[in-house]
Amino acid sequence: MKLSAEERWDLIDRISKETVTFGAYRHTLTDAIGELTIKPLTGIPIAIAVLYGFWSLFGSFAGTLCTDGFFVKFFDGYWLPWLQQVFPGQGNWFYVIMVDAGGIESGEFVLSESSFESFGVLTSGLFLAIGVVLPAIFIFYLMLAILEDIGYMPRLAVLIDTMLHRIGLHGYAIVPTILSLGCNVPGVAATRILETKKQRFIMMTLLAIFIPCGAQIGIMEEVVPDLIGWIMLYLIIGYFIFGYILNKIVPGRAPEFLIDVPPYRRPLARNIGKKIYGRVTGFFKVALPFVLLGCVIVGILYQMGVIQWLGGVLAPIFVGWFGVPPETAGPLVAAFLRKDLAVAQLSTIEMTEYQMITSVVLVSIYFPCVATFAMMLKEGWKDLLWALAVLAVVVFVYGGLIHLIGILLGVA
Amino acid sequence: MKILLMGHPNVGKSVFFNRLTGANVTESNYPGTTVDYTKGWMKIDGKDVELVDVPGTFSLDPKDKAEEVAVAMLHENRGALVISVIDASKIERGLYLALEIIEEGYPLVIALNMRDVAEDKNILIDADKLERILDIPVVSTVAISGEGIKELVSRVKEAKPVDVDDIISNATKAADVGAAGDVP
């Protein structure tokens, strides 16, 4: 037999009267902290402090301590010179792809001095994956796991709700957004918690375009530390501008959200350890092959002259519309596989600071990486096609706009 | 045999799943951590049993894609047994989903999880009496620390389909006994 909702609640009422005793409500310290972090007056400053702490720990642990403090010294001081010595066939195509593409100085072949410039699979590839990306995603996932297990995420969602409503989403969209800052793949999966197709589409499109992943941010911190603030600012502004526009043109509803804010809990070290291990190993199963493969493919394409050709063909758009050098064609090809790799490549090209900002923003927004693309396909090919259409427009319009801003500021 | 772990979002289904199968699905303190199902294997009385970690849902009337996955999972597995995980501090709305599943004829066991949180909030539940009224096993648990998990596993085989009419008459009987007990 089936009951109506009303009959069911009536029965539950009778059962709970017999079995549940509600004592007096005690206001605990946890409750008090819970309220302080969710009321706007105290909650917003606390949220800013939390996010700022998150950001500065990320930079100081991953960038300063691990990468600069250890891995750069190790890879540039020992690993690269050693491989340059022992790897046979200096200057031939296999050496170029595996170890060092080097450069030509006054007509002579010279070896690279750093693992950023060599672009070999075993040098730059390993250095980027292990020396830069590993510390970045380790610290990111450690801090994310702590915030998740304490129960802070739903509170952040409540605080940012009003802002996200303007772009057709609601506070809970902060969860896929933050997950995407680690990796876009789980971020796309998490859009399932949004209620309507419209919200899911807007969210997925914005994630794929404007949210750089942890690996990418880690590399930016390393190679363009002075410009990363501007790059992130352009991405955040784009997220809101195009979210606002999408909200106006995508049909469908954007309902209010109801959320259970769970009580704060003490995070368990065991669970945090398990989560970091699972996420970091999962990331590396996906990332490491693509970084290495990316090095191989870009190396081959350079040797075949494809990238030089592509740079020539695309030069009018690159130079005229976006205001960046034609050499950025190479990194844009690499970005299909991994954007972190592409950012590292950009850093080795001669250009002005503003061109660097523009080109890193372009690499971030111009196409989702292979893994994200596959995940979006899994969530529905129609939405994926629409998202790509939006993406093409965004790259063209926003890229041009950034160039225009540069021209107006007199820096481009 | 197949067992589905079902309940509201953020009641601890994934914690049970990891404990019972030794798997490693993500556990967090926010609703909506699990958005797709995960299958795993556990042993009950030496037999391999398939366990499914189902995304959280408030009712059998889905309102987002994660809930659609949950409801579809239930309906695709007509012969399955359900472990209904309920947040003991929010027992009433947990029972709503449990009753919906009972009404569809599934055998059910109830895990009254987060007993510690409920006690902190001064909410006391008479699990034995609840068990008598519902006529299915009800086990108090604290999944994160492992409390009650063994008892839950040992009682899974007692799960059986119940007619909701019987629950109504049990509730009436319990109320009558309670009223009689109040007489000095």
pLDDT of residue A245: 95
pLDDT of residue B73: 95
pLDDT of residue B184: 47
pLDDT of residue A107: 66
ipTM of the complex: 0.91
Task: Evaluate the CA torsion angle B46, B48, B49, B52 in order and state its sign.
Answer: positive
Q: Which domains does chain B have, with CATH numbers?
A: 2-182 (3.40.50.300)
Q: How far apart are CA A101 and CA A120, in angstroms?
A: 7
| CB-nearest partner of B30 from A11, A195, A262 | A262
Domain ranges of chain A: 34-409
Whether A17 contacts chain B with CB within 8 A: yes
Whether B124 contacts chain A with CB within 8 A: yes
pLDDT of residue A253: 85
> Chain A partners of B21 at a C-beta cutoff of 8 Å?
none
Are A159 and A47 in contact by the 8 Å Cβ rule? The answer is yes
pLDDT of residue A330: 78
Q: How far is A251 from chain B (nearest CA, A)?
A: 17
pLDDT of residue A11: 94
Per-position pLDDT tens, chain A of length 412: 788 999 999 999 999 999 999 888 878 888 899 999 999 999 999 999 999 999 999 999 998 899 999 999 999 999 999 998 888 888 788 888 888 877 666 667 778 888 888 888 899 888 988 899 899 999 999 999 999 999 999 999 999 998 898 898 999 999 999 999 998 888 999 999 898 999 999 999 999 999 999 989 999 998 899 999 999 999 999 999 999 999 999 998 888 878 888 889 889 998 999 999 988 888 788 778 877 888 888 888 888 888 888 888 888 888 899 999 988 887 887 787 778 888 888 888 889 999 999 999 999 998 888 888 888 998 889 999 999 999 999 999 999 999 999 999 988 7
> B31, A259: Cβ pair inside 8 Å?
yes
pLDDT of residue A335: 81
Q: How far apart are CA A366 and CA A380, in angstroms?
A: 20
> Chain A partners of B130 at a C-beta cutoff of 8 Å?
15, 19
> Chain B partners of A183 at a C-beta cutoff of 8 Å?
none
pLDDT of residue A104: 64
Are A138 and A144 in contact by the 8 Å Cβ rule? The answer is no
List A residues 323-382 in contact with B (Cβ-Cβ < 8 A): none
| CB-nearest partner of A19 from B31, B99, B126 | B126
Q: How far apart are CA B96 and CA A401, in angstroms?
A: 53
Are B82 and B101 in contact by the 8 Å Cβ rule? The answer is yes
Are A204 and A259 in contact by the 8 Å Cβ rule? The answer is no
Q: How many Cβ pairs closer than 8 A exist between chain A and B?
A: 135
> A194, B64: Cβ pair inside 8 Å?
yes
> A12, B92: Cβ pair inside 8 Å?
yes
Q: How far apart are CA A127 and CA B21, in angstroms?
A: 37
Interface test with A, best of B15, B29, B37 (most A CBs within 10 A): B29
Q: How far apart are CA B159 and CA B2, in angstroms?
A: 13
Whether B7 contacts chain A with CB within 8 A: no
Chunked mean pLDDT (size 10), chain B, 184 residues? 94 93 86 89 92 95 92 95 95 95 96 92 93 95 93 94 93 80 51
Whether A28 contacts chain B with CB within 8 A: yes
| CB-nearest partner of B32 from A28, A149, A193 | A193
Q: How many residues does chain B have?
A: 184
> A151, B30: Cβ pair inside 8 Å?
yes
pLDDT of residue A255: 83
Whether A193 contacts chain B with CB within 8 A: yes
Q: What are phi and psi of A183, to 5 degrees?
A: -155, 135
Max CA pair span of chain A: 92
Q: How far is B92 from chain A (nearest CA, A)?
A: 6
Q: What residues contact B51, with CB distance under 8 A and at least 6 apart?
A: B2, B3, B5, B17, B20, B21, B39, B40, B41, B42
